Every structure is written in C-alpha cells, then in structure tokens.
Amino acid sequence: MGVFVITSKHIQQLCRIVGRENVLATVEEMVAYSYDATNMWQHLPDVVVLPQSTGQISEILVFANENRIPVTPRGGGTNVSGGSIPIKGGIVLCTTRMSRIIEVNKTNLNATVEPGVVLQDFQSALAQEGLFFPPDPQSSAGCTMGGVVAENSGGPSCLKYGVTKQYVLGLEVVLADGKVMKLGGLTPKNRTGYELMMLFTGSEGTLGIISRITLRLLPATRANKTIVAVFSDVAVAGETVTAIIASSVLPSKVEFVDNWTFEKFRGLLPDNILDSSQVILLIQVDGLPQTVEAEAQQVVDICKSSAREVRVAKDKEEADRYWQARTSHFSDISSRAHTIVNEDVSVPRDKIADFIKISQESAKRYDVPISFAGHVGDGNFHPVVLTDSRDKEHYQRALKCVDEIIETALSLGGVLSGEHGIGLEKQRFLKKAMDPLAIDIMKKIKDVLDPNHILNPGKIWEDMEK
Amino acid sequence: MGVFVITSKHIQQLCRIVGRENVLATVEEMVAYSYDATNMWQHLPDVVVLPQSTGQISEILVFANENRIPVTPRGGGTNVSGGSIPIKGGIVLCTTRMSRIIEVNKTNLNATVEPGVVLQDFQSALAQEGLFFPPDPQSSAGCTMGGVVAENSGGPSCLKYGVTKQYVLGLEVVLADGKVMKLGGLTPKNRTGYELMMLFTGSEGTLGIISRITLRLLPATRANKTIVAVFSDVAVAGETVTAIIASSVLPSKVEFVDNWTFEKFRGLLPDNILDSSQVILLIQVDGLPQTVEAEAQQVVDICKSSAREVRVAKDKEEADRYWQARTSHFSDISSRAHTIVNEDVSVPRDKIADFIKISQESAKRYDVPISFAGHVGDGNFHPVVLTDSRDKEHYQRALKCVDEIIETALSLGGVLSGEHGIGLEKQRFLKKAMDPLAIDIMKKIKDVLDPNHILNPGKIWEDMEK
C-alpha cells in the first residue's frame, strides 16, 4: 500500500462522519488502542474512530479507501495474536459503541447483535431467556461479538458444541469500498450460493467490517456436573480423554491443568496426591438432570480405572472453585514472569501425550519454564513459556522453544492455531502450515474484496516473509 | 465460454489418462449421466470419464482447461437441483470409481475418504467402529461423499447435529488448472488463514473437484426412541415443535408428515384419529439409554397437551415402521402423478404455520395438489406439487404455484434452498434471494479459481438471467 499522511483535514472529515466525541486523536487517548492481549507488539494509530452505525462504518471506509488510509478493525482488543494492532498506523475503527442486542428470538433460536456487544453481556441476556451461545473464550468479559466472529472464537465448550463458525447464520459486512452487503439469513439451513459468510468468519478483519451478526442459539442446558480427576502421568490422562469420548459421552468441557496451577487446588484435593501428580483433568457434562447424572457416572467409572483421585463436585460452589482454579491459569502464570509467550496449537487427539512429552523436552533443552493448559478434549493446547523480554538471551531461547513447539505440533499432524488466529504472531509459520496454493488464493480473494489493501494491513500473510 | 468440439483425438487422450475401461463415449453408455434426481432436465455429455486417482483428475483438468472443455463433476447423480447435469456438454467427471475409505480413526474421531464412497457404505463402516457421521439425506443409499460435501448435504438429523459443513475438517481439491491443493487438517479446531474449505463445501462443483475428504465424526449414539404425535391442526403442530425445543430437549429428528402419507400409518395409529387429522410429527431422541428415557418422556408430556394421539414406539421394529412411512413419502407421492416438483425452502421456526397455510392457499388458487413433508424442526420443508409435464396447462400452473411458494418463503424471512442447492433449478430466484453484491463476489471468486469457467458451467448464477 502507498504512503499516506493523516492531516487535520482528514480528522475533521472523520469528526463530521461520527461526531467529534467519537474520534480520539491524542497520544494519551490512543495508547490503549496500540496493543492487544498478546502484549508483544505496540503501534500507535493516527486516529481512533468509534462509529455508532453501519452507515458511519460505510462512510469511514469510503473515506479511507479513497485516501488509501489503513483501517484496523478493533473490538475489545482482547485478541492474542496481534490481530488488532494498527501496525501500519492509520485508523483504528473500534466497534465498542455499537453494542445493541437487536433481537433475541426464542422460537427461532437465534439472536441478532451489533459487533460491539461484549460476549459476557450477550451470554447474560441469553441466560435470562433460557438460551445459550456456546463459544467461551477466556476473554469473554471483554471480547466483543464482531471479534468473536472475525477470529472464529473457540473455548472449552467447543468440544461438545463446536466453534463460532458453527453458529453464524447471517452477517452484514461493510466492504472496503463502503458498500454494505448482507449474507445468510435467519435459518439454520441455507444453501443459497457459496459460503461467503464463512470467508468473513475468521478473516481477522482483513476482508470487511462485520457490522451486524445473526447467530444460531441453543436452549440453555438445565444442569451440569463437574468431575475432577488427578493423574500421575500425562499419557494416561490423554488415554482417559479418548476412552471417555469413545464411550459415547461427549462432555461439554475437558480441560487440562498441569502442576503449575495445582496450588489453586489445595484444600480441594488431598495434598499428597497433588504433590506426586502431573495432571488434573477438569471435566464438565451438561444436559437434562437425568442425563447429567448418568453421564457423570460414566465419566467417573472410566476415570477411576486410571486416575489417582476422582471427585465429583457436590454443588455449584465446589464446581465454581475448580473452574476458577482453571480459569486463573493464564493470569496466575502471567504473574510469575515478566513476559509470557502463550501458544495455541492443536494436535490430533491421539498425539496429545507425544506432543506434551516432546514439548517438555524442548523446554528442558532451551532451559525455559513451560506450563501446559488447554482444551485437551479437542487436542487444543495453550503452552505458556515463561520468560523476560528484557533479558534478550533468555527471551531468544524462549522464542526458539516456542518455534520448536509449533514445529512439533505441525509434525504430529496438528495445526498452527486452534483458536487465536494468525495475526502478526504466526505469519512466519504460515508457509509451513498452509498449502502455498491456498495462500495464493487467500491473496487473490483479498484483492477481490479489498483491492487497495486498506483493511487490517500487515496481518495473516501480508508480512509473512519477515 | 468459447465453442469447443470433442474429437476422437480428445477421447484417445482421455483414454490414455484414465484407461479405456474408464471412458464412456456411446450414447447408450452416457444416457445415465445426462440427468439427475430432479428429473426436470436432460443433456448428454460428449464423454464420461471415471478417474481412479487424484493424479488422474488433475490430468483430466489440465487437458480440459487447455482445450476449454466443460467438466461437470458427478457422484451418484442423486442431487435434486440439476447440479450434476452436463447442460453445456463436454466431460462428465464421475468420481464413483474412487471409493476407498482411507482411514477411520476412533481416537481422533475423524475419517478420510475418497469422493466416490457412497454415504450409506460410509455410515455402515462407521457403525462397526461405534462412530457416526450425522448428515442423512434421503439419497444416502446412492449419494457419494464428494457430492455430500459439494452440496453441503443435510437431512433429518441435522436438527440436532448440524449439516455437512459442520463436519468438514480437511479437503484435497483439484483446481481447474489441475493443481492439487490441500486445505484444513485433522483437528476440530483450526484457525489457519481464511476458511477456504468452506468455499468448496457447497460450491456445487463450480470451484474445484473434491478428491479427498477428512470428516469430523461423533461417537455413535447408544440408544434412541421414536415418538409419534398426531395433530388436527398444522399451527398446533408447529407450536409443539417450538415448545419441545424450548424445553431444553433437542431431538435428533423432528419430521413432518401430512395426510398424503397417512395411509402408511394405518394399522399403526387409530383410523378415526388419522381420518380427522392434518399432521403427524415423527420425533426421535437419541443419546445414552438414561438420557433417551428422560428426553422421550419430556417430549411425550409436551405433545400430550396439544396432540390428539401420542405414542412411543415400543421397540426398534415399530420405530422402523414409522420411519419407513416417512421415508416413503417422496416415492409414494411420485407414484401418484406423472410429474412431481419437489421444493426445498426453509423458513424461521416461528413462521412454519404461516408458511404452510399460505402455500396451501396458493395450491388451492392454482388448483394443483400439494403435499408437505420436511424437517420441521429446522423449518426446512420439501413441498411437493403433483402435476403432469405432458399437460402443458397444468404443468404451468404447477410451476407458478411453486414460484409463489418460494416467494412466500422468502417474504417470511426464509431462504431459497435449505438443502438442495441452486443448481439449474433455482437460478431464476437467485437475485431475489441473495444480495447482488454477494452474487458479484461469487462471480469474482469463480474467476479467481476457474478463470476459463470450465467447471460445472451454467450452474448457480451462470444462467440466472434466463
């Protein structure tokens, strides 16, 4: 993309479109829009605009496209691959002031929302109606629905219920030239033309700005039970996951907690067991009360043959304590090091134990601390390497270790990203992880939809040679 | 696309690629490849080739692309929108001799197949391993996996389990220029680049030839129960469906049978009830035995408050008889008229009763017999108009009635096709059912992937002006 300069005339033009109160242009105001939850990059935009309608998004894009100004779409900024960092400057288009839940339709099991609705607020509104939207990334308290779709978010519950793309029924998208396009509809089955909706889902804001979303919902589950199983060995835990799923029970969540987070389970589980174990599996089954009872029993029976300790939470309070211990993993680990590098690979389920063992060897070889947490039921792991970016030598070792972990996942038939996307972080691996023909087609589709490459420039493949 | 002539030299070239025994070039041999299950169009190809490997598909496409010869991909030919008819002549590329199930992996819950595997054979192989691939179109005894993906097939079980696109993990696709591209992988979560796999899924063979497929599987369900509920009124049946789903039970199937097929239920249900009713809901719940018991009871309780008769099949034999009665609908109706026009619209669940009532009025106005069957839990209907194409006047009335039914579905917020795709049949409605911007993007994506328009020409949008 060519050189651009944002002038005060440009800022005035943006103020005319969205109102002065929805334009931020001082460094103090903009710094919060210069990074994301990856915390590995930072770049100030030239201006932040917070549109309040599809029409305003359209006008902003017409203006940006004519002037060849980069536009980086942003929601809550909670993403963890650098996707919402305005690495080329220009405009940050932040959707957080488009936060209306437009409709929740219980009969049709669908809802229509603006992109700036926070996932947790959406979940709460649905819960009041006895409804349920399964994707549950760790960032649910801050992430927004536009980002959930643009990043095709996952989370623990996706084991049973699938990821975001399996819930998108309809999208309104503002194209790079400002035109507003409607895709899909209200019905769960729709075979009208190509699956263009799926192109925008997971496109990380590089193909268009999602301005309205219709999602398929499920009836809220009536009951759930949490089972905790402690294992002395990673491989045995992996085999147990397989046995559970092969027994016709598909738990809503099967999460993996390594001994970095065992501290949080003290008082809940016997110390002597925790002291001599490697892994906790945290399992949730959900459904009708009768179902849950039967499925929990089956999970317990399977775990008992291989685990050192199996416990069913006796009530919601106990279950919540286990899940809080799991949820705290990321912030807990973060507090133990100046810098953490949080990975997001996914491997076939029969390679889980191999993956962990080989990755542990890498960490040993590079002499860096590593913690594994993840959605083990899916084979989706978030290995976290603890380091300190101020200590160049250690940081370089940490990055090399992470590279090796990614190579390991790929060599085991796994994928580069299970949930977080490519963004800035994983571009250098893209050529290894994706067929060059497919990368070429991605580029051509980008040229079709955004010929001037104004939308989220520098992401996914645009700087992959670096 | 330009004019092409298939010469005997061309045929020889194709024989060299796939072997003489895999080339059909006489009218007698080719007539079976000139129509599909729609039975509304017929067009002979110039030659039929039956490749046995990805390499052969690649060579065929290099040859066809260089010579600008149309290639119409075909599996079992069971599709019902004209999609596999070689309307522009040229080559029919039939995948039925690529019918190996390459791997079924119980631990990873996935399977890899060639495109020519018949769905029913695949289902049987999975059942032996205790596994399950949900999509279950009526054509399962003849349709092939390449077609299942290319048409993004549905069926009754998609209510609970979703459609084909929700199960595609990886694809190998031969592009129009003969290049072989690999997309996706083996894991249920994969956030590597754009969702290109989803472009080919549902593309009706217009963007590439699917040569290998990796699918996500589920553990086989352990038990199921069938509930039959008879209603005097369509609207009440519709409301009952809503009440069931709102009660947190998601049945595996909720099918709608109208009184055209009641004959098949005689001996199973009381004659006096059948004589004075409009609709039967056929409901299946599945899962663990304990689950099924509880969910069936809940469905029965809800149905009892509104249905005239509710019955739970006491065993598999009784359940099979109900389902055979439902499955026979299409062939049963077909035997009652020279020509049937089988539609495939989908409406939001809260518009089911409106849709049926308005469509019944249309049928009355045009004085043509109409039968409704469908996957009512999804709002997906297959209204069938009975006519006789030899009786021009009646046939025209029938077609007009069908047009009005489609208009009704669209005006109620529904979609042009729930399962069958656009093919030849629905092109004239595409502009009403799809944003012109989206049609334009489809065309541009076609230009990117198949610049010479050799793949399945004349389909989806290519002749929509007619």
- Domains of chain A (ranges; CATH) run 8-95 (3.30.43.10), 101-219 (3.30.465.10), 223-327 (3.30.70.2190), 331-421 (3.30.70.2740)
Q: Model's pTM, two decimal places?
A: 0.95
pLDDT at A235: 84
Model confidence at B466, in pLDDT bands (50, 70, 90)?
low
- E strand segments, B148-271: 168-174, 180-184, 209-216, 218-219, 223-231, 253-258
Answer yes or no: is pLDDT of B58 > 80.
yes
The rounded percent of chain B whose pLDDT value lies above 90 is: 83
**Out of A31-35, A262-266, B179-183, least confident range:** A262-266
Q: Across residues A28-42, what is the average pLDDT?
A: 92
Other CB atoms within 10 A of residue A413 CB: 15
Percent of chain A predicted with pLDDT > 70: 99
Residue percentage of chain B with pLDDT more than 70? 99
Q: Give the residue-averaged pLDDT of B226-251.
A: 89
Whether A48 has a pLDDT exceeding 50, the answer reads yes
Average pLDDT value for residue range A362-390: 94
Reply yes or no on whether the pLDDT at A34 is more than 70.
yes
Look at residue B334 in the predicted model and tell me its pLDDT: 87
CB of B448 less than 8 A from some CB of A:
yes
ipTM: 0.94
CB atoms near residue B5 (< 10 Å)? 9
Which pLDDT band, with edges at 50, 70 and 90, does B461 fall under? confident
- State whether residue A152 sits within 8 Å of chain B by CB: yes
pLDDT at position A307 is 96
Q: Is B416 in contact with A158 (Cβ distance < 8 A)?
A: no
User: Residue A196: its chain B contacts at CB < 8 A?
Assistant: 438, 441-442
Token pair, residue A5, equals 């300069």
Q: Residue A199: its chain B contacts at CB < 8 A?
A: 194-195, 198-199
Flag whether pLDDT at A1 surpasses 60: no
pLDDT value at residue A466 = 60
Which residues, numbered 31 to 60 in chain B, qualify as contacts with chain A under a Cβ-Cβ cut-off of 8 Å?
none
Let me know: does A38 contact A422? Beta carbons within 8 Å. no
What is the pLDDT confidence band of residue A251, given thresholds at 50, 70 and 90?
Answer: very high
CB contact under 8 A, B433 and A221: no
User: Which band of pLDDT confidence, cut at 50, 70 and 90, is reported for residue A158?
Assistant: very high
- Find the CB nearest B190 among A195, A290, A346: A346
Residue A411 contacts B, CB cutoff 8 Å: no
A131 shares contact with chain B (CB less than 8 Å): no
**How confident is the model over B16-21, as a mean pLDDT?**
98
pLDDT greater than 70 at residue B107: yes
Kindly state the average pLDDT of the residues B44-48: 97
Nearest chain A Cα distance for residue B360, angstroms: 22
How much is the pLDDT for B46?
97
**What is residue B290's predicted lDDT score, i.e. its pLDDT?**
78
Residue A102 has pLDDT above 60, yes or no: yes
| Whether the predicted pLDDT of B124 surpasses 60 | yes
> So what's the pLDDT on residue A373?
87
pLDDT band, residue B380 (cuts 50/70/90):
very high
B250 — contact with chain A (CB < 8 Å)?
A: yes
Confidence (pLDDT) at B1 = 47
Looking at the partner chain, which of B194, B288, B378 has a beta carbon nearest the beta carbon of A295?
A: B288
- By the CB < 8 Å criterion, does A436 face chain B? no
In 3D space, the residue among A119, A144, A120, A124 whose CA is nearest the CA of residue A50 turns out to be A144
How many beta-carbon pairs under 8 angstroms link A with B? 287
Is the pLDDT at B318 greater than 90? The verdict is yes
Of A9-23, A229-243, A257-271, B263-277, which has the strongest mean pLDDT? A9-23
Residue B287: the pLDDT is: 86
Run of H or E including A396: helix A392-411
If you average pLDDT over residues A174-182, what whole number do you get?
Answer: 98
Whole-angstrom distance between the N-terminal and C-terminal Cα of chain B?
17
Q: What tens digit of pLDDT does each residue of A283-302 get? A: 999 988 878 998 999 999 99
Higher pLDDT among residues A52 and B374, named by residue:
A52
Contacts of A417 in chain B (CB under 8 A): 190-192
